[in-house]
Amino acid sequence: MNHTIATIPGDGIGVDVTAEAVKVLDAVLPGITWTEFDWSCEQYLRTGAMMPPDGPARLAEFDAILLGAVGFPGVADHISLWGLLIPLRRAFGQYVNLRPVRLLPGTRSALSDRTAADLDILIVRENSEGEYSEIGGIHNPGRPEEFVLQESVFTRVGCERIIRYAFERARERDGRLCSATKSNGLIHSMPYWDSIFERLAADYPDVTIRQMHVDALAAEIVLHPDRLDVIVASNLFGDILSDLAAAVTGGLGLAPSGNINPRRDAPSMFEAVHGSAPDIAGQGIANPVAQILAGAMLLEHLGERAAAAAVDRAVCEVLAEGAVRTPDLGGTDTTARLGTAIAERAAELAGSAASLSA
């Protein structure tokens, strides 16, 4: 099938690694039509906006979106986040932020004596409400009685749909689901989250459940990651836990993510977990693996399972062999060299799979 995919390379190394992800996806699925949008912090500095007012309308016609990192010196993080990423997530109903974190072959965990069998966690993060709310503001600015109010929003619909999604994903894996909470400190929102989790658990008697305070869960990721399979968390908790888990499994340069619209009535958007790293942008040393794996998630979402599997296996094989590595992995190779090695291997694997099915 021919798919139309929008790319927003963004800033810094987002540009570098997105080019490699496009290269790899083209190697396994030549029928993709790409359209690039130059929406970034650099555009903000030129025009005063991260994207044009009709940006979401223009992207709505695509099958999926591949997003590079955004962030640039001179532009505050809240401007880049609220000017591009969050508006797109909400415009397209991408209420699931899916973050698989695993120890890839040929890489080392920050934890000693941990293997790939110990480090394979799927974090399901609520992506549309929770702590990332626009409700609030600065009151009495500049006066001694100045204060800031930041509200969290937890709706029944929002909690139910993300928790149910996590239960379904747990069923597809090892059947274990852990809910991140903080009901001992957040007296209203987290007991409400817990009550919905407990009620929905009755619909999934085949799934083993746990509920852990987020601070204890953070410690569990470090001390006993093998006890965890699927984690469901609110917007803020999921954001923090997924970065921690990615660091434990080898670094943010290896971790992909997807902003998923489960209804499929608007495009989903896929990106690496890492930031734009402007200090190394354009030097050809950024690790493209996270963005390439985000591309594999994109293919899987579009139903191109064989192509997605070829990309994933190619990444694992190239890393396991260790002949081509970027500096963060202990090597001296360039971003493009690693991307090319993965693209060539993925093409071979995709070709072999096509021959067997013919």
Indicate which residues carry an active-site annotation: 132, 182, 215, 239, 243
Phi and psi torsions of 168, nearest 5°: -65, -40
Which residues neighbour 144 within 8 Å (Cβ) at sequence distance 6 or greater? none
Helices marked H in the chain: 13-28, 41-47, 55-59, 77-80, 86-91, 156-172, 189-201, 214-223, 235-248, 289-301, 305-321, 335-357
In this structure, are strands 64-67 and 120-126 parallel, antiparallel, or unpaired?
unpaired
DSSP string, 283-326: SS----HHHHHHHHHHHHHTT-HHHHHHHHHHHHHHHHH-SS--
The answer to whether 267 and 37 have CB atoms below 8 angstroms apart is no
Distance CA 85, CA 69 (A): 10
**188, two tokens:** 């209203």
- Cα maximum dimension of the chain: 75
Instruction: List the one residue out of 331, 334, 292 whose CA is nearest residue 313.
Output: 292
* Tokens linked to 110: 């920050």
* 289 CA to centre of own chain: 13
Closest-CA residue to 328 (of 225, 269, 246): 246
Tokens at residue 43, please?
């555009």
- The owner of tokens 């274990």 is 176
